[in-house]
Structure 1
Amino acid sequence: MKKINWANIRLILIMGVVVFLYSFSAKRNEGRLLKEPEVLFADSENYITKDNVNKLLIQNYGSITGIAKVQLDLNKVEKSIDKNPMVDRAEVYATVDGKLKAIVTQKKPVARIFSGAKSFYLDYNGQEMPLSDSETARVLLVSGSIERVDGVKLKELLDYIYDDGFLKKNITGMAVTPAGTVTMRSRNYDYEIVFGQPINIDRKFKNYKAFLQDAVKDTLIENYKTINLKFTQQVVCTKK
């Protein structure tokens, strides 16, 4: 008579119970009704509000409350939030206890553009971003003949300033001339910074920082009218 392997039988029974419990839990979880959504922001700014995000959810489903988890297309919900011009990306998921959570990463404005009667933000990716009704970004102001400068080079210049802690605080305004050159304004001093074409950005700003380091020791720095950075080998200054 063949000996019964009770260890194998126990293993099969345990696996069967585990599969049953998993299937039962999954089925119960799918049928669970969703509760009110919870909106979280990945950053501290509020260019878009939680109410705005909730309205985007309502536009697609009328009301999230009472919908079974299995009926909710999370990918569709994410895409509907992503379409908002203030949003960079959204991550939406349902928790085990039936809560719908949306984690929203907002776009990062690096400058405010004034082009004729039109005004908007330019985000870190070089995309237009509308002004917000709920919060004003403290960013560089850009005006003038913006269409005269290469958009990619302008983005590189703005991102460079945004990423540099000193320049971000020191440079407050930028103007593009009809010739496509750039001038800037300093927060601390009344001179004009003549940057020229938005090229050799790193070299020019290193020259500017080196100039400031020496110039702050000069009590006449308040008398400077222009700081010319166009020549990468030197900084040329004129006085009032």
Structure 2
Amino acid sequence: MHIRWKKIIITALDIVLAIYLIMAITAWNKPDESKMLCSKVNINISDSNNAGFLTAGEIKHILEKAHLYPLKKNMSDINPRDIEEALKIGPFVKTAECYKTKDGHINISITQRMPIIRIKSKHGADFYLDDNGGILPNSNYTSDLIIATGNIDNNFARLYVAPLAKAISASPLWLNQIEQINVLPDRGIELVPRVGDHIIFMGYLPQNKGPWTRKHEINLFVMKKLSRLEKFYRYGLSQAGWNKYSYIDIEFDNQIICKRRDEKAEKAEQEELTKEAKAEQAENNQRTEEEEREKARKEVERQEHATDGPTE
């Protein structure tokens, strides 16, 4: 078999030359970082327009505290991996990515852990849970989240309250309507609505050791209960009145048990509402009379000025 050595040598030289050219072009295009300063730091935080803990100012503070804020530093001295690791230590950071650009910029992209509920247990614990059940420490966060109170320990909060809150938050209707979850000593679940002077008893959350199955069953449980509650709101309370009942029990599938409010308290509240309505009407009437008098006074003044006008 005849080997064409000349062709092999030419091919090998072509490959070496191509590699050399690629490396040369790369080296020529690569800026000299030792002579370039970082001129700008771009910080992008996902979900910054929604409820979240982090701001660009807080990211800057974290890096300054770790002496890693890159602005006006030599690009050669900036290590993107160090910046990422420093940010990932923060309890509210989910992921962090950092890279350099040829024009001397440092780009930092952050995804944050999103709080979905605040836990304030009867034992004094006060913290947040993210959408994966992770515990976030208390902070000056002031967003209007659902609050969970009562007999809650950390495990029950992570394994049961978090998927319960996530299932409620999936519906804009119930996210806006439910303001509090209360866990009873026997782990029964009560809901406190924003509209209506009543408490809703859901029953008991499904118990399951498997994390995926547990979340799935709790989600189905919540959807089923709240679907029935929505129908009762639409066709029951809308007719009977939002303040007619003090306690609404939706634990059982085939019935809804309602406890009427104390008749004396209901009558007293109605009288108070009537009194307030009358007072408001009297105030409106008085305001209208004063406005009419003021209008008449201005009309008289206008006519007097017209009478006292210049004459020939």
User: By percentage of residues, which structure has more strand?
Assistant: 1
**CA distance in structure 2 between the aligned counterparts of 1:14 and 1:122, rounded to whole angstroms:** 55
**CA distance in structure 2 between the aligned counterparts of 1:221 and 1:50, rounded to whole angstroms:** 44
Q: Which has the higher contact order (CA 8 A, sep 6+)?
A: 1
Number of residue-to-residue matches in the alignment = 232
1:155 alignment partner in structure 2: 162
1:215 aligns with 2:220: no
**Over aligned residue pairs, what C-alpha RMSD do you find?**
2.9
- Give 2:133's match in structure 1, choosing from 126, 129, 135: 126
Q: CA 1:15–1:180 in structure 2 vs 1: closer, same or farther (change >3 Å)?
A: closer
Read off the aligned partner of 1:125 and give its amino acid letter.
N
TM-score (norm 1): 0.83
Where in structure 1 are there 5+ consecutive unaligned residues?
1-8
- Give 2:252's match in structure 1, choosing from 224, 231, 239: 231
1:184 alignment partner in structure 2: 191
**Where does structure 1 differ by over 4 angstroms across 4 or more consecutive aligned residues?**
12-19
**CA distance in structure 2 between the aligned counterparts of 1:46 and 1:156, rounded to whole angstroms:** 19
User: By percentage of residues, which structure has more helix?
Assistant: 2
Read off the aligned partner of 2:24 and give its amino acid letter.
F
TM-score (norm 2): 0.65
1:83 aligns with 2:89: yes
Maintained 8 Å contact 2:45/2:111: yes
Maintained 8 Å contact 2:150/2:184: yes
Read off the aligned partner of 2:175 and give its amino acid letter.
K
Could you give the per-residue CA deviations for residues 58-106 of structure 1, whole angstroms, max 9, x where no partner exists? 2344542344444433233112112212222222222221111222222
Pairwise mapping of residues 15-34 of structure 1 onto structure 2 (< 5 A)? 19-26=23-30, 28=32, 32-34=36-38
- Give 1:94's match in structure 2, choosing from 97, 100, 109: 100
1:14 deviates by: 8.7
Maintained 8 Å contact 2:225/2:250: yes
Read off the aligned partner of 1:33 and give its amino acid letter.
L
Deviates more, 1:107-116 or 1:164-173: 107-116
**CA distance in structure 2 between the aligned counterparts of 1:51 and 1:128, rounded to whole angstroms:** 23
The percentage of counterpart residues that share the same residue type is: 20
Where in structure 2 are there 5+ consecutive unaligned residues?
1-12, 207-220, 262-312
